[in-house]
Amino acid sequence: MRKAVEVIKNTVEVLIMTNEQEFMVSQDQYLKSGIHIGTKFKTKYMSPFIYKTRTDGLSVLNLQKIDERIRLAANLIAQYEPKDILVACRRENGWKAVKAFGRATGATVFPGRYPPGILTNPKLARFMEVQLIFVADPWPDKNVVSDAMTLGIPVVALCDTNNQSNGIDLVLPCNNKGKKSLGLLFYILAREYVKKKGLVSGEPKFTVEDFTEE
């Protein structure tokens, strides 16, 4: 937990000192993916990340804040070895992206059902210990978030305008329901991870299309 807090704090300080921060990908690519499009529901937890609410009631997330949080998450995840990272995604729209992230980084991923007790019951054959948990949506992935809270494991979560942030250590605001949005986000995180860990020289061979549903 202390490692996660320190990484988040240090990255925030860097972002504050940088007046003009380049986006992780082009603004146009962000917008085309719909990563900033929220829902017609919003919570007080997500209000700091909401840019505006349109006349049709749909809330729109602040693209600058999305980019900053992706950078935070990338720096945090890079502090951990693949075996220490678990990614869970119950929502089907994110399965391709999560599987591609697992292939690219070597992290353990659970697209679909999260096996109960896998982190809390040492008697299980598939029992594992991890140091960082990443969930695609804290609501459908609430069981793994609950286990993380019990064990004191830091949690990074993709949160839309309608999410709550209880038990989340790092909120990454985004459209966590769209296939293109999830594909782009996990592509960026995988790209940054392999580069920061020195697993590739130059740009990785995988592309955003490997993470995105047709």
The pLDDT tens digits along the chain (214 residues) read: 656 656 555 544 444 444 446 899 999 999 999 999 999 999 999 999 999 999 999 999 999 999 999 999 999 999 999 999 999 999 999 999 999 999 999 999 999 999 999 999 999 999 999 999 999 999 999 999 999 999 999 999 999 999 999 999 999 999 999 999 999 999 999 999 999 999 988 889 999 999 997 6
How does pLDDT run across 22-46, given as a tens digit for each residue? 899 999 999 999 999 999 999 999 9
Backbone angles phi, psi at 81, to 5 degrees: -80, 155
Element (H, E) at 65: helix 63-77
What's the pTM?
0.90
Residue position matching structure tokens 């292939």: 103
Phi, psi angle pair for 90, to nearest 5°? -75, -30
Instruction: Find where tokens 């945090």 sit.
Output: 76
CA distance 18 to 33: 26
C-alpha–C-alpha distance, residues 178 and 142, integer Å: 19
The interaxial angle of helices 63-77 and 179-196, nearest 10 deg, is 40
Give the list of residues 6+ apart from residue 87 with CB closer than 8 angstroms, or none: 98, 101, 102, 107, 108, 109, 110, 133, 134, 135, 136
- The domains of the chain, with CATH numbers, are 2-211 (3.40.50.10490)
Q: From the CB of residue 100, how many other CB atoms can be counted at a distance below 10 Å? A: 23
